Amino acid sequence: MIICDETNLLFTLHTKNTTYQMKADSYRVLLHTYYGPRISGGDLSYLIQYTDRGFSPNPGEAGHCRTYSLDTLPQEYSSCGVGDFRLPSLETELADGSHITDLRFIGFARQDGKYALDGLPAFFGGGEWETLILFLEDTAAHLRVELYYGVLEAQDLITRAVRIVNQGNRPIRLYQAASVCLDFQRGDLDLITFDGRHVMERCPHRAPLRPGVQGVGSIRGTSSHQHNPFVVLCEPGTGEDSGLCWGAMLLYSGNFQAQAERSQFEGCRLVMGINPHHFCYTLAPNEGFTAPEAALICSPNGFSQMSRQYHRAIRKHLLRDPLAGQRKPVLINNWEATYFDFDADRLVQIAQAAAPLGIGLFVMDDGWFGSRDSDHSGLGDWSVNQKKLPGGLEALVPRIKALGMSFGLWIEPEMVNEDSQLYREHPDWVLGIPGRAQTRGRSQLVLDFSRAEVRDHIYSALRAVLSSADITYIKWDMNRSLSDVWSAALPTERQGEVYHRYVLGVYDLLNRFHRDFPNLLMEGCSGGGGRFDAGMLYYTPQIWCSDNTDAIDRLHIQYGTSFCYPPCTMGAHVSSVPNEQNGRVTPLETRGVVAMSGAFGYEMDLGKTTQAEREIIQKQVADYHAYYQLIQDGDYYRLSNPFQDPFTAWAHVSQDQRQALVSVVTGSVCAAPSFVTLRLKGLDPSLRYQVNGVSYPGDVLMQAGYPLPMPWGDYQSVQLYLSAQ
């Protein structure tokens, strides 16, 4: 609910459990007055104190009043160069060379429904949403800033976006254009970030804010394996089920930055948006720039409530899933079974082993196109390798479909090998600086997706492939970070736009697939989880969570990912052991329990499995289908912390609280282990639940708990299905 008090220039956003408020003061500076648990109303600007701070300067309108300073005020979109020395939201260079931005409130608009962003991902929806737009202006710079707020009341979600318009007759250069600025009048908060590396992504790290600036970001051209564009601020002591926390998520798949500053007077400012590294965007007269959307959730009841609200909002209002409401098939991917060494008959053999087990989707991975016999050649030549696949996909796909399976394909559209026809014909189509040696990653160069002609060529080739046979699934991979970022299509003064234009180009190509192949399911991937962000989820409703398929490492990866992203978005597969990433051996049952908590599949040669293993796999597939709605649409509860506890447990609970699936994985065992009682969450305390043929009251299971069996051997797993009587 949005309440606009036009007389007092007071704007209040209410969600189910939270309130967000802003006010334009007597100088028309837009102040941030409150964001926290829902309150009845009122003007919260009384909380702001005005005191003489000797080295905090005063704007010209304040005259000689030393108690009014932008350096001490909580602002909704912070200024630059006019006396506020904390993190700025916007930095510009005007035609006179100055870098000053002084924004003042000039008006507002309110509308039903959700705003949209041209060329950028954004949450969507109809009547559940309301939109508020606040207009700010720097009259001296002839610059207008439009602040967009979307309110999804039921999910406590507030989205923010920014549009910057040059209203003058001379160019303006943008050096920073944040998507969100949050000012808190307290500094005693913890910052949680989700960090890691390739094959170990999104591990939570928590630390108290220290004086000064701290944060995370990426300059790799993608959101990256190393840091994720989602952070949490919280009160000390906040846990899963209690305490106050704020989540901030950026819907962007390129360079980002999230910074929190604990100021000299014990305030906290969070600024999040495009990373200013090598960012310089020129706005011609009357031209606008739109910053990516950010999504905020405040939870007065700990991390678990925050996560469930994000999960519900993402599932319903961000994912454009062609199979929404349908049961997705379990897939088998041939990569770990064959790598580049396969032909049509070998692929059919893998499918023949999988089909009787209930696996419904066969995915052909790398090596099917061009001269692709290794990762040194062929990338960029998107035509079927007729030596491996005589007759092309037109011949192969019907053979797979005859087994009762659908067919999917791996692609990597953004990259090219130097040993390819595409590169030989268009060497200037890659990112690279003339006269400098190329920086390679995985023997690949990066195509310049800021250029329309490059995207047109790639799309034309892939459209022909997708039109040649009945292909229902695409895995879109991206296997290196961006370097040598320079475009032959842009003049010198606009090279600072390449990183951002590249991301817009990726989004443009993905949108073409949505337009022309509306029934095609796309899964994102970037060396696993290197581009696992909400921006990509708008185009690819599931993302390969990590190249690391070891079940025990995946417990940590999927735990961290779940703080913001729902399980249905996490590509998770069972692979062979010893695991190729770390050599660990885990039971097949445990690998299945971990993988079925996401978008389920297999990456192994099923033809080499024993009869006993095939029976286990067949049961796993059947269980996944039986529990599908619980896993995909249920509320997710973290029941332990794999970074601290000797076991990992989680639960999927139906939104009517009548069903639950509880999963537990133990760690390394020792002799005479301790007894473990697991306290469940999310149940209805007034209902009774059947667990293994025994009836228990819901409140008993949550307060007293359920005893776990004693483990025998390392990395054992247990699944419990609960149904209300």
Question: Between 3.30.2290.10, 3.40.50.720, 2.60.40.1180, 3.40.50.970, what CATH number should domain 647-724 receive?
Answer: 2.60.40.1180
Provide the mean pLDDT of the chain: 97
Q: How many residues does the chain have?
A: 725
Label residue 511 by pLDDT band (50, 70, 90). very high
Label residue 696 by pLDDT band (50, 70, 90). very high
The arithmetic mean of pLDDT across residues 646-656, rounded, is 97
The arithmetic mean of pLDDT across residues 7-36, rounded, is 98
What's this model's pTM, rounded to 2 decimal places? 0.97
Instruction: Dump pLDDT digits (tens) for 89-102.
Output: 999 999 999 999 99
Label residue 710 by pLDDT band (50, 70, 90). confident
Percentage of residues in the chain with pLDDT exceeding 70? 100
- List Cβ neighbours of 690 (8 Å cut-off, separation of 6 or more): 722, 723, 724, 725
Interior/surface letters 496-534, b for 16+ CB within 10 angstroms, e for the rest: bbbbbbbbbbbbebbebbeeebeebbbbbbbbbbbbbbb
Label residue 673 by pLDDT band (50, 70, 90). confident
pLDDT value at position 521? Answer: 98
The two three-digit tokens of residue 268, written as one number: 């906290």
Which is higher by pLDDT, 564 or 709? Answer: 564
Whether the predicted pLDDT of 156 surpasses 90: yes
Consecutive H or E run containing 534: helix 534-537
CB 689, CB 701: distance < 8 Å: yes
pLDDT value at position 674? Answer: 84
Question: Any idea what DSSP says for residue 450?
Answer: T
pLDDT value at position 366? Answer: 97
The arithmetic mean of pLDDT across residues 199-224, rounded, is 98
Instruction: Dump pLDDT digits (tens) for 263-321.
Output: 999 999 999 999 999 999 999 999 999 999 999 999 999 999 999 999 999 999 999 99
Annotation marks residue 533 as catalytic: yes
pLDDT value at position 83? Answer: 95
pLDDT value at position 539? Answer: 98
CB 45, CB 30: distance < 8 Å: no
DSSP labels, 189-224: -EEEEEEEETTEEEEEEEEEPPBEEEEEEE-SSSS-
Instruction: Dump pLDDT digits (tens) for 415-450.
Output: 999 999 999 999 999 999 999 999 999 999 999 999
CB 295, CB 313: distance < 8 Å: yes
CA angle 645, 647, 648 (to 5 degrees): 95
Nearest-angstrom CA–CA distance, 161 and 173: 19
Residue 569 CB coordination number (10 Å): 29
Within 229-381, residue ranges assigned H as helices are 302-317, 335-338, 344-354
Nearest-angstrom CA–CA distance, 519 and 498: 32
pLDDT value at position 398? Answer: 98
Percentage of residues in the chain with pLDDT exceeding 90? 97
* Per annotation, catalytic residue among 533, 547, 553, 623: 533
pLDDT value at position 662? Answer: 98
* Per annotation, catalytic residue among 241, 516, 613, 615: 613
CATH placement of domain 2-317: 2.70.98.60
The arithmetic mean of pLDDT across residues 35-60, rounded, is 93
pLDDT value at position 675? Answer: 87
Identify the bridge partners of residue 23 per DSSP, sorted by sequence position. 10, 31
The arithmetic mean of pLDDT across residues 551-573, rounded, is 98
**Residue carrying structure tokens 């659908």:** 406
Whether the predicted pLDDT of 592 surpasses 90: yes
Label residue 667 by pLDDT band (50, 70, 90). very high
The arithmetic mean of pLDDT across residues 596-607, rounded, is 95
The two three-digit tokens of residue 552, written as one number: 């025990």
Annotation marks residue 613 as catalytic: yes
Whether the predicted pLDDT of 711 surpasses 90: no
- The residue extents of the domains of the chain are 2-317, 647-724
Instruction: Dump pLDDT digits (tens) for 51-67.
Output: 999 899 999 999 999 99
